[in-house]
């Protein structure tokens, strides 16, 4: 009989658990698959895959400082993954996280260098705020262009990325160029020590070569905040409605343009944090050798994490492991480190396929058992 | 090889029926949509499938069309057991389906949509296809321009494209899921002529409909589903509208309701000379408190644009409209909704629901800014919203497995009920109801009509835009006709339908008995 069965909501929790469990299994299965493909490549290079993988794992987890290193690697990726994901929820593709965080580093550097009269407790927040405002402003341009003129954000953000890179290059060559003795590197002056991000290395008794800072717990907090934003606030609701059915959202009184601009600004704010660990936790100056590609990596992280904050945190950590492993591979094998990049690519593809398989199997199995459960993953889908 | 040359490979057993369902069962989580259904489709018949919203009609046909694997039972085509694992397989077996909700690519032309998936080779011969389609369209009397883009077509025209799509693939069995829901009576008449022509060609047609008059007119045999089961089978000559309705819902249904006598009050909505591109041309009308104004017209004559203008989705190029005396031209949807305008769109998937979202999330769409449902800081009051959702689902008998399922999993009629429940719940001053009962079963239509009459009895107003003359007559206090973006006539509620029909086709009826034709 086609009657609604009561008590469904109670059981649906267990089904969601089953789905999450299934997704973890899918992840592991996909990782194994990627491992096999990667193994074949490694064998072709004449190395032993088991040894290589053991090396990666060893380098990533053996000592507390290794784990800290993984967390350090994950910090910017969490922010960039979140930045991509929130825009994606509104149906927009923020390819510009890259340019936005680069501008964020520039505005952060300006604050760190010119607001040096502030005491540390104020200077650090001021520097962070400056990064966030710079990145958000950079994000605002393509968002406004999109809403006002219809220019597609993918095209405009890619162009904005190019401009950002040139702008930083110009700034460190001209107005921000270091005034000290002839340095080999093209860079700004060193920031005052009080402008740097408080390190967690010392409190945790780790060597100072680890640049784990307060930004890592902040990144985890950002995951929680983004979740809350998406699923518990009105704007998050509107953003998701616009993302999955703009016509119905519009008829529901939601301004599509306003929602898109707002969510792009939020995406920009998150992007502003991406470069800070590198800038304020590691280097202490902005040079022409700054870390690039974190914004693009965020696309992969968001993809792997299914645009869900928890998934993003986990996949950022996983990629953190692989990055850490690159050091190990470089030191103890003859392999080019690109092998791990190939591995990442295979992993992303197989995980995406595996998630979908699991979603379907779980739904089907629950049907067979005639359990009264929820089939689809409502939030993560 | 072109699609029209696809032939059925199986050697048919002589005398075997075209399709036999044997104890077919299909479950969805928590629901048995088809419960051990036995059904036989004979070659060359028009077989009507009727039943309440959510009875499992669409699901049963989707199983045959290869969209869902059955959980039990078997399907025989021409006496041979088949496993229809995908629509592609179905089409190769000669089975085609036109869905309740169309599956067309908006940006593609008519031709591109029709040949999509039936290209038959790496090189597209669009010219040839176009020629064929034009011929096919002509032979069945479908006025359709193969070059137009789908997004420029009315819903009724889009449906013809869907039918052509199946015919182009040379099917023997054509499943039509509520094909007339979007057609006017005269268009439906044309469709029926075509269906009879197809039957004459030896084709078999499954016709799903909630319109019992049509079913009685066109069907050779009728099967009734209720809650997933076959509860009866009959023939038109042995049955009647009332009998069918009772078989469907399990109780007698009233097809005629008493219109409450209401003292009409001040004008609530006043539209003056509104123009919009070439869609609306100087439209003027007035709806007063306690009144239902019916706007009758053939689909695609500016109704959608009119409705969308009045809810703020479009800004008119000229003219103005006011609400309770206050000019509201150009206000946003949010502002208009705040002023008490409700909106039932004709297209529930693109203007009504966010299908990926849950029922409770959809229940609050349009009211998410009300202080009851989100705090001033912008945090959703989830418990309140869920209470609202439960209330709506209960009040309008939305058949669903709970309020946490995505709206996409509801049957078409239940989706419509959810929208109506939502839009009527906060007692709008003015309800713009565009095809409000499209896709509803007879019981639900009766219910919705009552709700609209209650709305009026409470002194509120309804602008009813419908292509269903029955509905227009059943509810309206006054009737306007719309044709090519103009108001082509005004009639009292007792004007003879022929006169209104003339207005709907653009002619200016001469004032007949009791009818006044006002040029606005
Ligand atoms: N994809 C799906 N997932 C889960 N449940 C579904 C799905 N499709 C349909 N159902 C459920 O199966 C039942 C039968 O739905 P179906 O669409 O076949 O009804 P119908 O008879 O066509 O109704 P209507 O006249 O309203 O179109 C309904 O309870 C519906 O909610
Ligand atoms: Mg249906």
Domains of chain B, each with CATH number or no CATH: 19-98+170-245 (3.40.50.300), 267-354+424-519 (3.40.50.300)
Does B117 contact A at CB distance below 8 Å? Answer: no
Per residue in A114-150, pLDDT (tens digit) is 998 888 889 999 999 999 999 999 999 999 999 999 8
Please give the distance, rounded to the nearest whole angstrom, from the Cα atom of residue B106 to the centre of ligand 1. Answer: 25
CA-CA distance, A37 to B74, in Å (whole number)?
42
CA-CA distance, A209 to A221, in Å (whole number)?
25
Does A361 contact B at CB distance below 8 Å? Answer: no
- Taking CA atoms, A283 is separated from A56, A191, A209, A290, in Å, by 25, 9, 11, 9
Residue A71 pLDDT > 60, yes or no? yes
Q: Long-range pairs for A31-36 at CB < 8 Å and ≥24 separation?
A: A31/A347, A31/A350, A31/A351, A33/A346, A33/A350, A33/A354, A34/A343, A34/A346, A34/A347, A34/A350, A34/A351, A35/A343
Nearest CB to B406 within list A241, A255, A378? A378
- The pLDDT assigned to A22 comes to 73
CA-CA distance, A180 to A190, in Å (whole number)?
10
Residue with tokens 């979603």: A359
CB of B31 sitting under 6 A from ligand 1:
yes
Does A250 contact B at CB distance below 8 Å? Answer: yes
- The pLDDT assigned to A342 comes to 81
CB of B413 sitting under 6 A from ligand 1:
yes
Report the DSSP pairing between strands B19-28 and B72-77. Answer: antiparallel
B60-99 residues touching A, CB cutoff 8 A: 71
| Choice among A100-109, A173-182, B44-53 with the minimum mean pLDDT | A173-182
More confident residue, B106 or A200: A200
CA-CA distance, B514 to B520, in Å (whole number)?
18
Instruction: Please name the residues in contact with B125: beta carbons below 8 A apart, sequence gap of 6 or more.
Output: none
- Please tell me whether the overall predicted TM-score, pTM, comes out greater than 0.90 for this model: no
Q: Are B301 and B484 in contact (CB under 8 A)?
A: yes
A10 phi-psi bin (left φ>0, alpha ψ -120 to 50, beta other): alpha
Residues of chain A in contact with residue B426, where contact means CB-CB under 8 angstroms, are none
B406-425 residues touching A, CB cutoff 8 A: 406, 409
By CA distance, what is A246's nearest residue in B? B350
Atom of ligand 1 nearest to the CA of B34: 14
CA-CA distance, A176 to A171, in Å (whole number)?
6
- What six digits make up the tokens of B454? 């209650």
Please give the distance, rounded to the nearest whole angstrom, from the Cα atom of residue A305 to the centre of ligand 1. Answer: 32
- The pLDDT assigned to A363 comes to 59
Please give the distance, rounded to the nearest whole angstrom, from the Cα atom of residue B320 to the centre of ligand 1. Answer: 42
Tens of pLDDT along chain B (520 residues)? 334 333 444 445 567 899 999 999 999 887 899 999 999 999 999 999 999 988 999 999 999 999 999 999 999 999 999 999 888 899 999 999 988 677 788 888 888 888 877 666 666 667 788 888 888 888 777 778 888 888 888 766 787 888 888 888 888 999 999 888 777 677 788 788 888 988 888 889 999 999 999 999 999 999 999 999 999 999 999 999 889 999 988 888 777 778 888 888 899 999 999 999 999 999 999 999 999 999 998 878 999 999 999 999 999 999 999 999 999 999 999 999 999 999 999 989 999 999 999 999 999 999 999 999 999 999 999 999 999 999 999 999 998 888 999 999 888 889 999 999 999 998 999 999 999 998 888 888 988 899 999 999 999 999 999 988 889 999 999 999 999 999 999 999 988 888 888 888 877 544 443 334 443 3
CB of A2 sitting under 6 A from ligand 1:
yes
Q: Which ligand is nearest to the CA of A363?
A: 1
H helices of B312-381, where? Answer: 333-338, 359-363
Instruction: Flag if A251 and B333 touch (Cβ within 8 Å).
Output: yes
Please give the distance, rounded to the nearest whole angstrom, from the Cα atom of residue B409 to the centre of ligand 1. Answer: 7
Nearest CB to A2 within list B32, B71, B355? B32
Instruction: Name which of B29, B34, B394 to mutate to probe chain A: the one with the most chain A Cβ atoms within 10 A of its Cβ.
Output: B29
- What six digits make up the tokens of B48? 């009507």
For residue A233, the 8-state DSSP code is: B
Residues of chain A in contact with residue B71, where contact means CB-CB under 8 angstroms, are 367-368
Residue with tokens 């929208």: B419
B203-232 residues touching A, CB cutoff 8 A: 227-229
CA-CA distance, A131 to A100, in Å (whole number)?
9
Residue A95 pLDDT > 60, yes or no? yes
Question: What is the rounded average pLDDT of the residues A63-79?
Answer: 93
Residue nearest to atom 16 of ligand 1 (CA): B56
Instruction: Please name the residues in contact with A253: beta carbons below 8 A apart, sequence gap of 6 or more.
Output: B332, B333, B334, B337, B366, B368, B369
Nearest CB to A252 within list B71, B366, B374? B366
Nearest CB to B357 within list A2, A244, A363? A244
Does B515 contact A at CB distance below 8 Å? Answer: no
Q: Is B46 helix (H, G, I), strand (E, B) or coil?
A: strand
Residue-wise burial string across A108-119, b where 16 or more C-beta atoms lie within 10 A, e elsewhere: bbbbbbeeeebe
ipTM over 0.90: no
- The pLDDT assigned to A139 comes to 96
By CA distance, what is B71's nearest residue in A? A368
- Model confidence at A23, in pLDDT bands (50, 70, 90)? confident
Instruction: Name which of A253, A376, A381 to mutate to probe chain B: the one with the most chain B Cβ atoms within 10 A of its Cβ.
Output: A253
- The pLDDT assigned to A170 comes to 92
Nearest CB to B351 within list A241, A251, A375? A251
Per residue in A260-274, pLDDT (tens digit) is 999 999 999 999 999
- The pLDDT assigned to B337 comes to 96
- The pLDDT assigned to A9 comes to 39
By CA distance, what is A242's nearest residue in B? B354
Collect residues with CB below 5 Å from ion ligand 2: B 58, 100, 412
List the domains of chain A with CATH numbers. Answer: 77-321 (1.10.3470)
CA-CA distance, B78 to B62, in Å (whole number)?
19
Q: Are B65 and B174 in contact (CB under 8 A)?
A: no
Residue A18 pLDDT > 60, yes or no? yes
- The pLDDT assigned to A4 comes to 39
**Where are any strands of DSSP class E within B395-471?**
430-434, 461-466
Residue A8 pLDDT > 60, yes or no? no
How many pairs of residues across A and B have Cβ atoms under 8 Å apart? 133
- The pLDDT assigned to A17 comes to 67
Q: Give the Cα-Cα-Cα angle B17, B18, B20 (nearest 5 degrees).
A: 70
Residue nearest to atom 24 of ligand 1 (CA): B53
Nearest CB to B32 within list A1, A248, A371? A1
More confident residue, A10 or A33: A33
- The pLDDT assigned to A353 comes to 80
Say how far residue B178 (Cα) sits from the centre of its chain: 7
Instruction: State chain A's mean pLDDT as an integer.
Output: 85
Residue nearest to atom 1 of ligand 1 (CA): B409
Instruction: Please name the residues in contact with B12: beta carbons below 8 A apart, sequence gap of 6 or more.
Output: B78, B79, B80
CB of B445 sitting under 6 A from ligand 1:
no
φ and ψ at A141, to 5 degrees? -60, -55
Atom of ligand 1 nearest to the CA of B411: 17
- The pLDDT assigned to A364 comes to 59
Instruction: Name which of A252, A258, A266 to mutate to probe chain B: the one with the most chain B Cβ atoms within 10 A of its Cβ.
Output: A252
């Amino acid at each position: 009989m086609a009657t609604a069965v009561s008590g469904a909501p109670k059981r649906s929790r267990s089904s969601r658990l089953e789905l999450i469990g299934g997704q973890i299994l899918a992840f592991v299965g996909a990782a194994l698959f990627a491992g096999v493909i990667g193994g074949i490549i490694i064998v072709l290079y004449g190395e032993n895959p088991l040894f290589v993988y053991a090396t990666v794992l060893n380098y990533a987890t053996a000592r507390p400082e290794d784990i800290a290193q993984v967390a350090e690697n994950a910090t910017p990726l969490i922010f960039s993954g979140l930045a991509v994901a929130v825009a994606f929820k509104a149906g927009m593709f923020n390819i510009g996280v890259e340019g936005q965080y680069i501008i964020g580093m520039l505005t952060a550097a300006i604050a760190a260098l010119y607001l040096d009269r502030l005491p540390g407790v104020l200077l650090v927040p001021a520097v962070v705020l400056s990064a966030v405002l710079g990145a958000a402003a950079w994000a605002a341009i393509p968002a406004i262009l999109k809403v006002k003129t219809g220019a597609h954000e993918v095209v405009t953000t890619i162009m904005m990325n190019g401009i950002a890179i040139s702008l930083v290059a110009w700034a460190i060559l001209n107005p921000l160029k270091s005034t000290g003795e002839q340095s080999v590197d093209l860079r700004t002056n060193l920031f005052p020590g009080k402008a740097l991000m408080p390190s967690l290395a010392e409190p945790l008794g780790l060597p100072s070569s680890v640049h784990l800072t307060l930004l890592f717990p902040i990144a985890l907090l950002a995951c929680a905040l983004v979740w809350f934003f998406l699923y518990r606030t009105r704007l998050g609701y509107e953003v998701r409605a616009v993302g999955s059915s703009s016509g119905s959202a519009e008829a529901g009184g939601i301004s599509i343009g306003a929602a898109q601009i707002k969510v792009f600004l939020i995406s920009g704010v998150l992007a502003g944090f991406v470069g800070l660990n590198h800038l304020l936790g590691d280097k202490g100056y902005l040079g022409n050798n700054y870390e690039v590609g974190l914004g693009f990596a965020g696309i992969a992280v968001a993809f792997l994490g299914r645009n869900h904050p928890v998934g993003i945190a986990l996949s950022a950590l996983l990629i953190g492991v692989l990055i850490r492993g690159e050091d190990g591979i470089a030191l103890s094998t003859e392999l080019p480190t690109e092998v791990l990049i190939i591995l990442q690519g295979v992993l992303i593809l197989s995980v995406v396929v595996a998630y979908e398989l699991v979603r379907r199997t779980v739904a089907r199995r629950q049907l067979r058992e005639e359990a009264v459960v929820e089939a689809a993953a409502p939030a993560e889908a | 090889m072109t699609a029209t040359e696809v032939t059925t490979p199986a050697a048919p057993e002589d005398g075997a029926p075209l399709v036999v369902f044997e104890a077919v069962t299909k479950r969805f989580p928590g629901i048995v949509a088809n419960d051990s259904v036995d059904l036989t489709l004979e070659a060359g018949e028009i077989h009507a499938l009727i039943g309440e919203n959510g009875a499992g009609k669409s699901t049963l046909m989707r199983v045959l069309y290869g969209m869902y694997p059955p959980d039990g039972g078997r399907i025989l085509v021409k006496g041979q057991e088949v496993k229809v694992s995908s629509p592609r397989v179905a089409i190769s077996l000669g089975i085609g389906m036109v869905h309740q909700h169309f599956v067309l690519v908006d940006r593609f032309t008519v031709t591109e949509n029709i040949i999509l998936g039936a290209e038959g080779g790496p090189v597209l011969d669009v010219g040839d296809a176009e020629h064929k389609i034009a011929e096919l369209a002509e032979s069945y009397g479908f006025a359709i321009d193969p070059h137009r883009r789908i997004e420029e077509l009315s819903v009724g025209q889009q449906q013809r494209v869907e039918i052509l799509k199946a015919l182009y693939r040379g099917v023997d069995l054509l499943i039509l899921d509520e094909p007339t829901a979007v057609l006017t009576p005269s268009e439906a008449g044309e469709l029926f002529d075509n269906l009879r022509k197809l039957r004459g060609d030896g084709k078999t047609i499954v016709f799903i409909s909630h319109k019992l008059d049509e079913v009685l007119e066109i069907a050779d045999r009728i099967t009734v589903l209720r809650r997933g089961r076959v509860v009866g089978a009959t023939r038109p000559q042995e049955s009647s509208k009332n009998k069918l309705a009772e078989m469907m819902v399990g109780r007698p249904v009233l097809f005629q309701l008493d219109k409450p006598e209401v003292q009409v009050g001040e004008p609530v909505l006043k539209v003056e000379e509104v123009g919009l591109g070439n869609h609306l041309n100087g439209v003027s009308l007035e709806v007063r408190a306690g009144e239902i104004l019916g706007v009758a017209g053939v689909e695609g004559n500016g109704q959608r644009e009119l409705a969308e203008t009045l809810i703020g989705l479009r800004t008119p190029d000229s003219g103005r409209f006011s609400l309770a005396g206050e000019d509201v031209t150009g206000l946003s949807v949010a502002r208009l909704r705040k002023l008490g305008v409700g909106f039932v769109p004709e297209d529930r998937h693109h203007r009504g629901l966010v299908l990926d979202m849950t029922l409770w999330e959809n229940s609050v769409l349009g009211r998410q800014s009300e202080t009851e449902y989100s705090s001033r800081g912008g945090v959703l009051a989830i418990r309140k919203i869920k209470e609202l959702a439960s209330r709506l689902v209960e009040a309008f008998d939305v058949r669903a497995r709970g309020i946490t399922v995505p709206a996409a999993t509801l049957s078409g009629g239940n989706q419509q009920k959810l929208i109506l429940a939502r839009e009527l719940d906060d007692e709008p001053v003015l309800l713009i109801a565009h095809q409000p009962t499209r896709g509803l079963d007879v019981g639900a239509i009766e219910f919705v009509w009552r709700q609209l009459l209650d709305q009026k009895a409470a002194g509120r107003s309804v602008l009813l835009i419908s292509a269903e003359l029955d509905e227009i007559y059943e509810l309206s206090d006054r009737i306007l006709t719309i044709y090519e973006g103009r108001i082509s006539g005004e009639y009292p509620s007792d004007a003879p339908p022929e006169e209104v029909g003339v207005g709907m086709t653009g002619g200016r009826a001469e004032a007949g008995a009791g009818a006044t034709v006002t040029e606005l």
